[in-house]
């Protein structure tokens, strides 16, 4: 059977041009620093994302204090914000996550996971809890 132009175009589109990006800029915590981190609540993200992030922070021996939405990042010495987006493509999946950590109001660490352009890449179908733990471990090494 001979492949026509339409078949070739379909195969190229199914192969997908999209990629999954992950970039982490870690933050160093010294032993003398407080182990409390304030989390500014983001009502547009799923509660399950926040629960997983709080669990991941606790596994890094950080005590979490929640702050209401819109609180300034300078409200605590160490503050984190988060954003997350979910998409549907045969199944619901975490398509975007961004964790930012501020020390005394200055952005010091960030973890980004972006699968929004993943198209047909099946690697986008991850367990969100596992990805959040991985990002948090990379954000707070050691």
The string of pLDDT tens digits covering residues 69-105 is 999 999 999 999 999 987 777 766 677 999 999 999 9
Which pLDDT does position 30 carry in this prediction?
Answer: 75
Q: Taking residues 38-54, report their average pLDDT.
A: 95
User: Which residues in 32-52 are b (16+ Cβ under 10 Å) and which e?
Assistant: eeeeebbbbebeebeeebbeb
The string of pLDDT tens digits covering residues 5-35 is 544 444 444 444 568 788 999 998 877 666 8
Chain centroid offset of residue 123 CA: 15
Q: Where do the domains of the chain lie, and which CATH numbers do they carry?
A: 20-139 (3.30.160)
Residue from 59, 62, 54 nearest 37 by CA = 62
pTM of the model: 0.80
Q: Is the pLDDT of residue 108 over 80?
A: yes
The C-alpha atoms of residue 99 and residue 109 are separated, in whole angstroms, by 8
Give the range with max mean pLDDT: 7-16, 108-117, 122-131.
Answer: 108-117
Residue 117 binned pLDDT confidence (cut-offs 50, 70, 90): low
Chain centroid offset of residue 26 CA: 13
């Amino acid at each position: 059977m001979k492949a026509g132009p339409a078949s070739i175009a379909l195969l190229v589109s199914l192969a997908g041009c999209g990629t999954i990006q992950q970039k982490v800029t870690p933050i160093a915590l010294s032993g003398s620093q407080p182990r409390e981190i304030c989390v500014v609540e983001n009502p547009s993200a799923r509660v399950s994302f926040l629960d997983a992030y709080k669990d991941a922070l606790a596994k890094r021996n950080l005590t979490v204090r929640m702050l209401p939405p819109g609180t300034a990042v300078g409200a605590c010495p160490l503050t984190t914000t988060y954003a997350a987006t979910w998409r549907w493509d045969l199944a619901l999946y975490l398509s975007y996550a961004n964790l930012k950590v501020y020390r005394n109001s200055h952005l010091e660490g960030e973890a980004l996971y972006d699968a929004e352009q993943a198209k047909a890449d099946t690697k986008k179908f991850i367990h969100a809890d596992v990805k959040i733990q991985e990002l948090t471990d990379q954000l707070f090494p050691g």
